[in-house]
Amino acid sequence: MKFNLEKKDIDSALLSLSAVADKKQTLPVLSNILIKAQENGLNMLSTDLEIELEMDVENVVVEEPGEITIPAKKASDIVKELPDGNISFSLEEGEKFKIKTPTGEYNLVTMEASSFPEFSSTEIDNAHEINSEELVELFQMTSFAMGNQDWRHYLNGTYIECAMGTLKMVATDAHRLAMCKKEFNTEAEFSGIIPRKTCMELMRILPRENEKIKFSIDQNRIVFSSPNFIFKSKLIDANFPNYNQVIPSGDFIEIKVNREELLDIVSRVSVLSNDKFKGVKLKSEGNLLKIFSSNNDQESAEEELQLEVANEGFEIAFNVNYLREMLNTIEDKSISIQSFGNEKSALMKTTNDKRVLVLMPVRL
């Protein structure tokens, strides 16, 4: 086996494949990438048995076809650190895989391609189509609210749902909730929970230009396909909670502030917040919003911010990390916060009426 290509044509693919490969090394070969050099191009695969990524690499010159598996992280790290330019890859005698540049070479241990698990069929049945920009936006607008290693495993992912011509994604970790929806031209109805790792890796590899992405979903798995990759993932086997019950309704008090100024202030004030709860309090007084924090050492911080829309009686406290993360997903110059009571969830309103952002309060 021997092939060569420019660094820019393979480094991002190796990074994505390395991220998918199994780091727990349940089976040693799962920490490897399967490389197939063929006369018509280069194909690479990785899996952790929960998700599978297959990528085609362009602009490659294959001098000798062949296939082998190489350590995913080591190969990715080496190529990432190499200078821009042409890189030669070859399988040498003694089963060492050589990565060579004009100034150096690296020799990696390999495992036989035959030991790599066989991938299931890549046929996309009943495929739907969506623009990559829209799919990326759906993930970016919601995935920050996913759970992370929560014992309630159904929270460790993003819920996808299609009904009545609307495609929705919803994520929650029980402290905040994010929902985003798009019009979707289909009569099909489907739903499932996409695992956290799948969401994170898809956001990495999905093209930012307006490219068509095909996907299909059944009760057990979801498959995404583009001209350059096929990404298959198992779905989380659980029922997603009724997210509509979390979205507050009824009477509320609303304020409107400059988003960036609020973000800067809560970041400064939070330095003296309680280490455990990381809480900051927001309270309206006249045309001002006052932001407070304090800790067990009897230290405190207070700043004020001019309100664009003022209403007396607004008072609520949030975890500053959740508040900042939510504010960072918004591009609007100004945002509105609707409080339904200091012990009830609040709504953060933006100019995007396709988004719903819910933030649960904390007690200080």
Query: What does the alpha-carbon distance between residue 273 and residue 85 come to, in Å, rounded to a whole number?
Result: 49
Q: What is the pLDDT of residues 247-258, one digit of tens each?
A: 999 999 999 999
Look at residue 310 in the predicted model and tell me its pLDDT. 85
* Res 94: pLDDT: 67
- The whole-angstrom separation of Cα 248 and Cα 240 is 18
Q: How many angstroms separate the CA atoms of 129 and 147, rounded?
A: 28
> Which domains, and CATH codes, for the chain?
2-115 (3.10.150.10), 128-244 (3.10.150.10), 247-359 (3.10.150.10)
The amino acid occupying position 316 is I
pLDDT at residue 122 in the model = 55
Say which residues have a Cβ less than 8 Å from residue 281's Cβ, sequence separation at least 6: 291, 292, 293, 315, 316, 317, 364
What is the side-by-side order of every strand in the sheet holding 300-306? Answer: 300-306, 288-294, 279-285, 315-319
For helices 132-142 and 196-205, the axis angle rounded to 10 degrees is 140
> DSSP 3-state assignment of 343?
coil
pTM of the model: 0.88
pLDDT of residue 92: 79
Averages of pLDDT over runs of 10 residues in the chain (364 residues) are 93 93 82 92 92 92 93 94 94 85 92 84 73 93 92 94 93 95 89 94 87 91 92 94 92 94 93 85 93 89 92 91 94 94 91 94 84
Give residues with Cβ within 8 angstroms of 21, minimum separation 6: 30, 31, 32, 33, 46, 47, 48, 72, 73
Helix (H, G, I), strand (E, B) or coil at 305: strand
Query: How many other β-carbons are positioned within 10 Å of the β-carbon of residue 204?
Result: 12
Structure tokens at 220: 């057990």
